């Protein structure tokens, strides 16, 4: 593959490794800012595994600012931002309502146009398809599995990406958006310390027509747009509708909270995702309430996921002219429905910094440091909150699984995630770049 040589002034030339939701969002944001970018995907085409994905208000605002939210809703079969805040329900028979997540008054003051949580629950593959239509197709390259990075022999300020097919590509900045298995992260910090570890949590996933569950006697309503979390000791289920509530997405979790994250290793040759029998899944939740068992019975061929996370946290999301975004940087537990949102935030902030008029190949390393300064503390806060949320759902909160206990422990857990002003972060990053003289003072 031919490589282009950039000048030290003018727009930097970026290369993104990984064509998932975060990589595509980053590419779209860069293209809309006029930053040259090429995207490299290991697979033969764009595609996602998994069923439903939650896009919280923070990420929805980014998609809106990029001018792509309406088309995404249309493509994913959603009438708009119809997903509201969570309902917590006992997983035991009777399914007592334990807690309704409330929206902080301050959120209405900061974002007066919003009602409820203004989130999007979408089919993951449909979301990816929606994003693809906004990408310049000439910038996408497939069958490009990154195997290593090196300093360019022609220009020591550039990085060369080496692919499994023997080709390579040079860029002013390399962005690793290649997920929890990230080869860019491994190249950046070393294979032995790459840090994807088993979280001691598994989940069973399934997607099926809502009518199927109603015909089987399901009583819980999923037409209101409110995801339901069925709670219980060591286990919980997250259930919400997608495609305008015509389909039900179920993610059923089971965790060992008595072992520290990373203390248990899976066989190296074993898959992280596999199809298992319905009987195995049903046995895991034996004794739970009727609606839980109906939902699980509707999943004919459940997939079992061994959830891995990036742990311990990285010392930095950047090294030289290489930056990590999304799960490659901070793969986290999914218990706040915030992992995709944090990746979208990463993509937006990084694109905005790379698109600054004063960003050049000469100061790119400092610009990436500014990205790391604002993104790493925030993403780690959400990472920690996701661990805490899972503990509360599974009965390990300080006040237990009663309605009063869940209410006390959850509190306002989502407010700092959903209602965070990224413009303040960008202003802070630019201010720091001026203080370091990477950017000139206005």
Which candidate in 84, 124, 195, 205 is catalytic?
205
Nearest Cα neighbor of 30 from 409, 420, 394, 352 is: 352
Secondary structure class of 350 (helix, strand, coil): helix
- CA-based angle 381:242:16, to the nearest 5? 55
205 is catalytic: yes
Nearest Cα neighbor of 414 from 377, 381, 380 is: 381
Contact 45, 210 (CB under 8 A): no
Cis peptide before 312 (omega within 30 of 0): yes
E-strand ranges in 111-163 read 120-123, 140-141, 146-151, 159-163
How do beta strands 14-17 and 173-176 pair? Answer: parallel
Contact 217, 294 (CB under 8 A): yes
* Helices and strands counted in the chain (H then E): 15, 19
DSSP at 197: E
Nearest Cα neighbor of 358 from 10, 1, 8, 115 is: 10
Contacts (Cβ under 8 Å, ≥6 apart) of 435: none
H or E stretch covering 205: strand 196-209
H or E stretch covering 195: none
Secondary structure class of 53 (helix, strand, coil): strand
Within 10 angstroms of residue 132's Cβ, the number of other Cβ atoms is 16
Residues carrying an active site annotation: 205
């Amino acid at each position: 593959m031919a490589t282009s040589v950039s000048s030290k002034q003018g727009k930097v030339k970026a290369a993104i490794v990984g064509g998932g939701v975060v990589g595509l969002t980053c590419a779209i944001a860069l293209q809309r800012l006029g930053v040259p970018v090429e995207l490299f995907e290991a697979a033969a085409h764009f595609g996602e595994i998994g069923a439903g994905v939650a896009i919280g208000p923070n990420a929805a605002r980014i998609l809106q600012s990029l001018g792509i939210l309406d088309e995404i809703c249309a493509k994913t079969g959603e009438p708009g931002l119809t997903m509201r805040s969570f309902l917590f329900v006992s997983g035991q028979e009777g399914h007592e309502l334990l807690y309704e997540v409330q929206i902080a008054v301050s959120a209405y003051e900061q974002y007066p146009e919003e009602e409820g949580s203004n989130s999007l629950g979408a089919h993951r593959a449909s979301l990816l398809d929606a994003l693809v239509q906004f990408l310049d197709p000439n910038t996408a390259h497939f069958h490009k599995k990154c195997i290593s990075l090196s300093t360019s022999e022609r220009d020591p300020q550039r990085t060369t990406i080496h692919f499994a097919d023997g080709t390579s590509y040079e860029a002013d900045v390399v962005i690793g958006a290649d997920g929890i298995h990230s080869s860019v992260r491994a190249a950046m910090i070393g294979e032995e310390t790459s840090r994807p570890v088993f979280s001691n949590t598994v989940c069973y996933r399934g997607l099926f027509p809502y009518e199927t569950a109603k015909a089987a006697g399901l009583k819980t309503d999923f037409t209101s747009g409110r995801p339901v979390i069925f709670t219980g000791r060591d286990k919980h289920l997250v259930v919400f509708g997608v495609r305008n509530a015509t389909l039900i997405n179920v993610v059923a979790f089971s965790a060992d909270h008595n072992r520290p994250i990373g203390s248990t290793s899976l066989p190296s040759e074993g898959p992280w995702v596999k199809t298992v029998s319905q009987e195995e899944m049903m046995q895991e939740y034996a004794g739970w309430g009727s609606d839980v068992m109906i939902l699980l019975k509707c999943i004919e061929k459940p997939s079992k996921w061994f959830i891995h996370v990036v742990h311990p946290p990285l010392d930095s999301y950047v090294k030289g002219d290489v930056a990590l975004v999304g799960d490659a940087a901070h793969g986290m537990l999914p218990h706040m429905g915030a992992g995709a949102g944090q990746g979208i935030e990463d993509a937006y902030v990084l694109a905005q910094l790379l698109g600054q008029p004063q960003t050049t190949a000469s100061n790119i390393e400092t610009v990436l440091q500014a990205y790391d300064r604002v993104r790493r503390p925030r993403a780690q806060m959400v990472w920690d909150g996701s661990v805490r949320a899972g503990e509360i759902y599974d009965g390990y909160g300080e006040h237990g699984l009663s309605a009063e206990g869940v209410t006390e422990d959850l509190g306002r857990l989502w407010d700092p995630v959903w209602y965070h002003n990224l413009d303040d972060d960008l202003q802070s990053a630019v201010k720091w770049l001026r203080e370091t003289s990477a950017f000139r003072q206005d």
